[in-house]
Amino acid sequence: MARFAEAMPEADTELHYTDHWQLLVAVMLSAQCTDRRVNEVTPALFAAFPSPEATAAAGEEAVFEKIRSISYPRSKARHLVATAQMIAGRFGGRVPQTREELESLPGVGRKTASVVLAVAFGRAEMAVDTHVFRVSRRIGLAAERCRTPLAVEQELVRHIPEELIPKTHHWLILHGRYVCTARRPQCDACCVRELCRFRRRQQEKGDTPAVKTPHQS
């Protein structure tokens, strides 16, 4: 954690938002889609429908037209409108602050709820996406027996100090996005390479991965 903190002192979500509703929408749209693509789509979406009430009133087709360039736009438009209707009607227009309430929203699962709780409300929640899952198991933060996102989450939460959990989520995402990539990890640019289980095994086999300088954005 100390090495990640030194390498990425300002680690935070790369999604663009200005309030809790926009964060929730952006996280929902980011499922199986890049943050860059989401950030390209959301300015026009938020300008047209800036609140749960406006999104609920707009309807599925209007929302679909604004997000059609991202992955699974039809189902995401349906979920966004249904979620907006529920927030406007049941929660007084405010994004709920408990896991149970968040996961009651259409299209909101454990990972999305964890991101919102951690980023919007500062809760000690570890959201496990593909980057967190891969990096945690690869470098050795999570045991290899942890074969599901929930198992990885429980392992990380058990060993990481509570106050570092939200920040660790972002460290692992950014590390997986720009350094510890899925197909070609940039081991020579890795701040934890001496501690990494994957690196150690590759060295033992005499098969250290090829490396190059990572692109940082």
Q: How much is the pLDDT for 204? A: 85
Cα-Cα-Cα-Cα dihedral sign, residues 87, 66, 57, 20: positive
- Which of the 8 DSSP states describes residue 104? T
Q: Catalytic site residues?
A: 111, 129
Architecture of domain 127-205 in CATH?
Orthogonal Bundle (1.10)
The pTM for the full model equals 0.88
Residue pLDDT tens, the chain, 217 long: 999 999 999 999 999 999 999 999 999 999 999 999 999 999 999 999 999 999 999 999 999 999 999 999 999 999 999 999 999 999 999 999 999 999 999 999 999 999 999 999 999 999 999 999 999 999 999 999 999 999 999 999 999 999 999 999 999 999 999 999 999 999 999 999 999 999 998 888 876 554 433 333 3
Domains of the chain by residue range: 20-121, 127-205
Q: Report the topology of domain 20-121.
A: Endonuclease III; domain 1 (1.10.340)
